[in-house]
Amino acid sequence: MKKGKLGYLFIAPATLHLLVFAIFPMAFSVFLSFYKWNLLTSERTFLGLANYAYAFGDPQFWNAMWNSTKYALLSVPLGMAAGLLVAILVNQKLKGVTIFRTLYYIPAISSGVAISILWIYVYLPETGLINSVLGLLHINNKTDFLKNESMAMYALVFMSIWVGLGPRMVLFLSGLIGIPPSLYEAAELDGAGKLRSFWNVTLPMLAPTTFFVMVTSTIGALQVFTPVYIMTQGGPNETTDMVGYHIYVEAWSKFLIGIASAKSFVLLAAIVAISIFQFRILKNQLEGYSTT
Amino acid sequence: MKKLLSYLTMTALALFLMAPFVWMIFVSLQPSKAPIPSLGQLVPEKPAWSNYRLVLVEQPDLPVLRFFFNSAFVTCSVVIGQLLISSLAAYGFARMKFAGRDLIFYVFLGSLMFSGPVTQLPVYLLVKSLGWLDTYAALIVPGVSSAFSVFLLRQAFQSIPGELDEAARLDGAGDFRIYWKVVMPLSGAALATCSAFSFFAVWTDFFWPLLSTNSTTMRTLEVGLSVFKSSYGTTNWPLEMAATVLVMIPLLVAFLFSQRYFTKGIMIGSIK
């Protein structure tokens, strides 16, 4: 019994910290979402569910939710495919391959603000890096990627794939290394070609890794903030106004604390629902093949 | 033949990923206030190293060295705090039995995944009501324990054979002694991984320092750079790129030193 109490002592500091800086704030956020709350004057009025009603009826909020969905639907599958392909590429016994792995990781450890500033330059018309290269190839080099309504979203997606390549590569690499070679040998004996054994061995065996990468990438994509804040401020014409940035503006530029809280709960609900959905679609594979 | 193709692909990819960085360095060496050069004139005849001096010391309203100190001080404090607090909890979860242990651990995991979007405002209000806004406490205390570190270290502690504990216990050691003298010394790699992760997460955090500080002297490098951008952006490109390079250098150095642990940690985290 004495031992039973001691365990609590070990987890006490971390648990206390979790209560104060995560659990209590979550609960307090529910409370905030029921009030009209002014950050500057601290005046508050109880509104019940009115903030949620407002959020659901706010076209700008839905625009932001839709933009985030679009961003996630593009950047997550493309980023995962790129990560997997690169993982397969560097999962070969080649001299110096670890140097390449290290290089591929560098964009991910760089500061988000610095990367965002750098990519503003990369996307500049005429003098930007991309347009300079296009100019050399005698292709139209006047596109202002970040100020062009039909391009800005894709510009942010492209950058996110560039930044996220390294971590996704490492995750898939660890998954690939964990696949027993005997499975490939068995597939070969059954006459399976490279493509078939990729489809029937690699992909199913990677299911736990795929699930992990998919959930964390989606959660990250739905909350993206820094690139929007630094590069586009939601523009042009709100085509890149994503929900993480939208809530920030509601709270810190318009000081609408209650509404921002309500909206962040709608976002949270969406994130939880999507994570459960992703678990469901991969559930059978996770049960069938998980070796951990 | 296949080998050659692999090397070609890997090199092309490396060029694609590194090109913006290389280009950035060349732009940062153009004379201050020069326009962005075309690719042909990218290599400056006389590299303007003075841009770096301009950014570092000759910006009275933007004390870059102070930003650097703030980032370093805050990051080190958070990393040390996390190592202690999270490893204690990880030992509790990995090695001890008590009622509700697994439930509490799942609460940790859940908060790791889902608390992000809804806690920022209340934590801000909490820090404000404590009178911590614009102080180091605001930058450090909310970060000194992390559910992610608890999770990572618990995994590592579980992989240490229990016989070692038993041997120490026979010698009369209590749990705290086993934690400090047996489990911690054997977990060097995991602790290094944890430090590497929190180092980069805290150093490159933008959102929280942006909210919780407002005086120039309390800004971190990340926020400082964004302030720099709003005051010099689009008017002095080489200088802005020099500032960006300066922000990247410490991260790159830290990465090259910790790279081994860094990639390892991602794997530990992914395996359930």
* Domains identified in chain A and CATH numbers: 1-33 (no CATH), 34-289 (1.10.3720.10)
Q: How distant is the Cα of A150 from the closest Cα of chain B, in angstroms?
A: 23
For residues A187 and A200, the answer to whether their CB atoms sit within 8 Å is: yes
ipTM above 0.90, yes or no: no
CA distance linking residue A86 with residue A168, whole number of Å? 9
| Cβ contacts of A257 on chain B, cutoff 8 Å | 121
Residues of chain A with Cβ-Cβ distance to B36 below 8 Å are: 121, 124, 127-128
DSSP string, A244-290: HHHHHHHHHTS-BHHHHHHHHHHHHHHHHHHHHHHHHHHHHHHHHH-
Q: Is the pLDDT of residue A79 over 80?
A: yes
**Which residues of A, range 162-181, sit inside 8 Å of B by Cβ?**
162, 165, 167, 170-171, 174-175, 178
Residue A219 and residue B113: Cβ atoms within 8 Å? yes
Phi, psi of A94, deg, nearest 5: -125, 145
Q: Find tokens 């500057």 and name the residue.
A: A40
Q: Which residues of B touch A223 (CB under 8 A)?
A: 116-117
Bond from prior residue into A236 cis (ω within 30 degrees of 0) = yes
Closest CA to B199 of B119, B134, B259, B272: B259
CB A66 within 8 A of CB A238: no
Cβ atoms of B237 and B27 within 8 Å: the answer is yes
Domains of chain B and any CATH numbers: 2-48 (no CATH), 64-270 (1.10.3720.10)
Report yes or no: A122 at the B interface, CB cutoff 8 Å.
yes
H or E element: which one contains A189? helix A181-189
Give yes or no for a contact between B249 and B230, defined as CB atoms under 8 angstroms apart. Answer: no
Residues of B in contact with A165 (CB under 8 A): 17
Torsions phi, psi for A37 (to 5 deg)? -135, 120
* pLDDT of A288: 54
- Give phi and psi for B170, each to the nearest 5: -60, -30
Contact B271 A6 (CB under 8 A): no
Chain B CB contacts of A118 below 8 Å: 20-21, 24, 241, 244
Cα–Cα distance, B38 to B46 (Å, whole number): 16
Per the CB < 8 A criterion, the answer to whether B55 and B242 are in contact is yes
Q: How far is CA B20 from CA A62, A115, A119, A198, B24, in A?
A: 34, 9, 8, 33, 6
A15/B93 Cα distance (integer angstroms): 11
pLDDT score of B271: 45
CB-based contact A254:B124 (threshold 8 Å): no
Mind listing the pLDDT tens digit of every residue in chain B (272 residues)? 788 999 999 999 999 999 889 888 988 888 877 777 777 777 877 887 888 888 887 776 778 889 999 999 999 999 999 999 999 999 999 988 898 899 999 999 888 877 777 888 899 999 999 999 999 999 999 999 988 899 889 988 988 888 888 888 898 888 899 999 899 998 888 898 889 888 988 999 999 999 999 998 899 999 988 888 777 656 678 888 888 898 889 899 998 888 877 666 655 555 43
- A75 to chain B, any CB pair closer than 8 A? The answer is no
Angle between helices B147-158 and B101-114 (to 10 degrees): 130
Q: Could you give the C-alpha distances from B192 to A51, B156, B265, in angstroms and in order?
A: 45, 12, 9
* Sequence-ordered alpha helix ranges (H) in chain B: 2-28, 50-57, 64-95, 101-114, 116-129, 136-140, 147-158, 162-170, 175-178, 184-186, 188-203, 207-212, 221-232, 237-270
